[in-house]
């Protein structure tokens, strides 16, 4: 049977975990635009999340709960007759993982096996996309990472992604679960309200006329991946899995394949924002890998995938998003502090 991908998502029941997160928000909006019937598992209510602020949340079915509740997951998959699962939910901050390893392991490791076990018990589920990370590879001497690079995380966050990735592989291999794994670099884009991250933190500082801060020494190399590219890649991968069952159990790197230091990234942002501010380099980062970047050759070759945006295009769209975000909040604050108008007869 030939599948019409143009209508693949129309009325398709899709469960998204982590829908109020950075990538999840953009993914949900993209799924809605494609006509999908979206269900989101939401643990904590985040009123500042873009999905809430844009009221896109009103167009999805929200299940309140957490990944550790297998009975809830099985009920959700069954009652909403879910076809496709896109698993994004995770504790995604390295610093928090260093301070709170147990909660990170519970979210990223236990949460993965609980969801996959629920999927195994739900025969209607046809495609599962599991979001791993380039951090799952750990610190290796030979770069770029390819999908054959051993998974060898050592620090809490990296270990959590290594374990979750291996658990997903085991469910695909042992139980023939129809899943694929994504390994992406550092996501950036509008909607990220974690100001400790370098992109939103730098943009906010410049908009406030403050010196941007770099926690590391500025020489750490990262693979920065625009969030709209990530959302599109997840959907493309689910479509390809539906067309080609032999992709089950495979992992794919998604990347712009650029080697960028933290300092270079900040300088690109400053240049686009026409700022003369100089960053403060704190050199305080610990338990972080110094150099990470990915090869996306397998995705190019086997999925005919290409990113939609260059790094500079992604940064430009991101800067514009934050300018509008702060302008809207400034207008709201001005209204709140405006003097009351006297009533007239």
Residues marked as catalytic: 157
Burial call 105-132: b when 16+ CB within 10 Å, e when fewer: bbbbbbbbbbbbbbbbebeebebbbbbb
- Kindly list the distances between the CA atom of residue 240 and the CA atoms of 105, 126, 172, 318, in Å, as whole numbers in the listed order: 30, 12, 16, 28
Q: Count of CB atoms within 10 A of residue 84's CB?
A: 25
Q: Which backbone phi and psi does 148 adopt, to 5 degrees? A: -90, -5
């Amino acid at each position: 049977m030939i599948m019409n991908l143009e209508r693949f998502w129309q009325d398709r029941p899709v469960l998204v975990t982590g829908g109020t997160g950075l990538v999840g928000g953009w993914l949900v909006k993209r799924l809605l635009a494609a006509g999908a019937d979206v269900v989101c598992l939401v643990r904590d209510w985040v009123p500042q999340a873009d999905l809430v602020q844009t009221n896109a949340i009103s167009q999805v079915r929200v299940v309140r709960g957490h990944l550790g509740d297998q009975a809830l997951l099985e009920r959700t998959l069954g009652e909403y007759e879910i076809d496709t699962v896109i698993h994004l939910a995770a504790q995604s901050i390295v610093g928090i993982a260093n301070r709170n390893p147990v909660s990170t392991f519970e979210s990223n490791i236990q949460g993965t096996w609980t969801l996959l076990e629920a999927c195994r018990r739900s025969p209607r589920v046809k495609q599962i996309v599991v979001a791993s990370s380039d951090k799952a590879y750990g610190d290796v001497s030979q770069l770029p990472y390819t999908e054959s690079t051993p998974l060898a995380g050592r620090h809490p966050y990296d270990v959590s992604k290594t374990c979750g990735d291996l658990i997903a592989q085991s469910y695909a291999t042992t139980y023939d679960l129809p899943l694929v794994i994504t390994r992406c670099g550092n996501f950036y884009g509008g909607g990220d309200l974690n100001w400790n991250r370098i992109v939103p933190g730098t943009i906010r500082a410049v908009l406030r006329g403050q010196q941007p801060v770099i926690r590391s020494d500025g020489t750490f190399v990262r693979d920065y991946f625009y969030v709209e590219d990530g959302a599109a890649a997840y959907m493309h991968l689910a479509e390809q899995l539906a067309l080609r069952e032999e992709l089950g159990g495979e992992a794919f790197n998604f990347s712009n394949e650029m080697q960028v230091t933290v300092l270079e990234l900040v300088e690109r942002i400053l240049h686009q924002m026409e700022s003369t501010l100089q960053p403060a380099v704190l050199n305080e980062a610990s338990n972080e890998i110094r150099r990470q970047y990915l090869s996306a050759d397998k995705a190019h070759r086997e999925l005919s995938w290409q990113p939609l945006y260059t790094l500079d295009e992604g940064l430009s769209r991101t800067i514009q998003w934050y300018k509008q975000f702060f302008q809207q909040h400034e207008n709201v604050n001005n209204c709140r502090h405006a003097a009351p108008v006297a009533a007239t007869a």
